[in-house]
Amino acid sequence: MSGATASLRALAAVSAGGLAVLMLAVMAGIVIGEAPLPLSAVLEVLSVRLFGADTLLDPIDAGIIWNYRLPRTLVAASCGAALSLSGLVLQSLVRNALADPYLLGVSAGASTGAVAVTILGVGGELIEHFRRCLCRCGAGLSDRRAAGARGGRRGGADGAGGHRRVAAFQRADVLFIAKSANAEQARGIMFWLLGNLSGVRWPDVTLAVPIAVLGFAACLIHARALDAFSFGTESAASLGVPVRRVQLVLIGAVTLMAAVMVSLVGAIGFVGLVIPHAMRFVVGVRHFRLIPATALAGAVFLIAADIVSRMLIAGQVVPIGVVTALVGAPGFAIILIRNRARA
């Protein structure tokens, strides 16, 4: 009994610590920006908004803090958590260390839809983007599931080849469509290919945060099933995991998370690949720990990447996808080399 209490207490302590880290990251995301705004101003705006205090702050400064930076940071956190969870779940489900929504082409599928909308001019409304993102993601994933099923029977490596071919094909789609664009269209498309958080406002938060929380819950509920999947679908089935149902739910959750995040901020690569691997290194392979750690690290990582993207070159915003790639591409290489060494 006391053992259970102690582990509950440890769980509470770890959760509180994780939340504190997340809060600190969010604060950093609000304080650091192009225009220098003091911490005191940030605290004042937050207290005014949250507790209804009075303020003499300039409405523009207050607006920047409350309406630009806070939503942007919250969406960055949701997006980081959702994308890294998607990567983690895909890696476990298809037993492929290189699985990631960006590399597998879930995000690419979503960007293809978005880019097609931009250039071919098929509707312009956000809802249209959103619908297309979902459709493309769904289509992309079903291709991929077929490839995964084949690969599963023949062994992981072939499956991975199949995934990457589909992703490459979809990225080629994007490039094909992009080739028929002029310079200014191309600049608009960059948004979908490299990610952009500058247009994030409160309505985006009300979509991103619930989806990230929902996805997190869906993953956490299936933590034990995901452990079982590490030994392959047959072993999972023999351990009593309802394989089809779990696959359906988790792939649905991954698709939804990736689709929503891409529809809000464009495709941001490498988060889903590097964060889960880094966290396996830190907390081990059990999903009950791995899922919260991955979500937290992904959230903090993307907030940090957004800060770096704003500060790297003064007066200019580097696309956030470039920042994540700067970290992610070497990470990708390390994972590839380690995998080869093991094979």
Work out whether 68 is an interface residue with other proteins (CB under 8 A): yes
User: What string marks each residue from 44 to 63 as x (binds other proteins by CB under 8 A) or -?
Assistant: ---------------xxx-x
Work out whether 124 is an interface residue with other proteins (CB under 8 A): yes
Nearest approach in angstroms of CB 24 to other proteins is 22
Q: Which is nearer to other proteins, 74 or 103 (CB)?
A: 74
Residue whose C-alpha is closest to residue 86's, from 336, 339, 240, 268: 268
Q: Which is nearer to other proteins, 71 or 109 (CB)?
A: 71
User: What string marks each residue from 298 to 327 as x (binds other proteins by CB under 8 A) or -?
Assistant: -----------------xxx----------
Work out whether 206 is an interface residue with other proteins (CB under 8 A): no
* Contact (Cβ atoms closer than 8 angstroms) between residue 272 and residue 295: no
Work out whether 33 is an interface residue with other proteins (CB under 8 A): yes
Burial grade of 272 (CB within 10 A; 0-12, 13-18, 19 or more) = buried
Among 7, 15, 47, 67, contact with other proteins (rule: CB under 8 A):
67
Nearest approach in angstroms of CB 63 to other proteins is 4
Specify the stretch interacting with other proteins by CB under 8 A; choose among 18-26, 158-166, 186-194, 213-221. Answer: 186-194
Work out whether 150 is an interface residue with other proteins (CB under 8 A): no
Work out whether 240 is an interface residue with other proteins (CB under 8 A): no
Work out whether 188 is an interface residue with other proteins (CB under 8 A): yes
Q: Which is nearer to other proteins, 48 or 139 (CB)?
A: 48
Work out whether 198 is an interface residue with other proteins (CB under 8 A): yes
CA 116 to chain centre: 22
User: What string marks each residue from 79 to 118 as x (binds other proteins by CB under 8 A) or -?
Assistant: ---------------------------------------x
Work out whether 34 is an interface residue with other proteins (CB under 8 A): yes
Among 200, 218, 256, 271, contact with other proteins (rule: CB under 8 A):
200
Q: Which is nearer to other proteins, 65 or 93 (CB)?
A: 65
* Contact (Cβ atoms closer than 8 angstroms) between residue 107 and residue 264: no
**What does the H/E/C string look like for the chain?**
CHHHHHHHHHHHHHHHHHHHHHHHHHHHHHHCCCCCCCHHHHHHHHHHHHHCCCCCCCHHHHHHHHHHHHHHHHHHHHHHHHHHHHHHHHHHHCCCCCCCHHHHCHHHHHHHHHHHHHHHCCCCCHHHHHHHHHHHHHHHHHHHHHHHHHHHHHCHHHHHHHHHHHHHHHHHHHHHHHHCCCHHHHHHHHHHHHCCCCCCCHHHHHHHHHHHHHHHHHHHHCHHHHHHHCCCHHHHHHCCCCHHHHHHHHHHHHHHHHHHHHHHHCCCCCHHHHHHHHHHHHHCCCHHHHHHHHHHHHHHHHHHHHHHHHHCECCECCCHHHHHHHHHHHHHHHHHHHHHHHC
Nearest approach in angstroms of CB 314 to other proteins is 10
Specify the stretch interacting with other proteins by CB under 8 A; choose among 30-38, 255-263, 273-281, 300-308. Answer: 30-38
- Residue 122, C-beta contacts closer than 8 angstroms, at least 6 positions apart: 116, 128
Work out whether 199 is an interface residue with other proteins (CB under 8 A): yes
Nearest approach in angstroms of CB 64 to other proteins is 5
Nearest approach in angstroms of CB 210 to other proteins is 20
Contact positions vs other proteins (CB under 8 A): 33-35, 59-61, 63-64, 66-69, 118, 121, 124, 184-185, 187-188, 190-191, 196, 198-201, 315-317
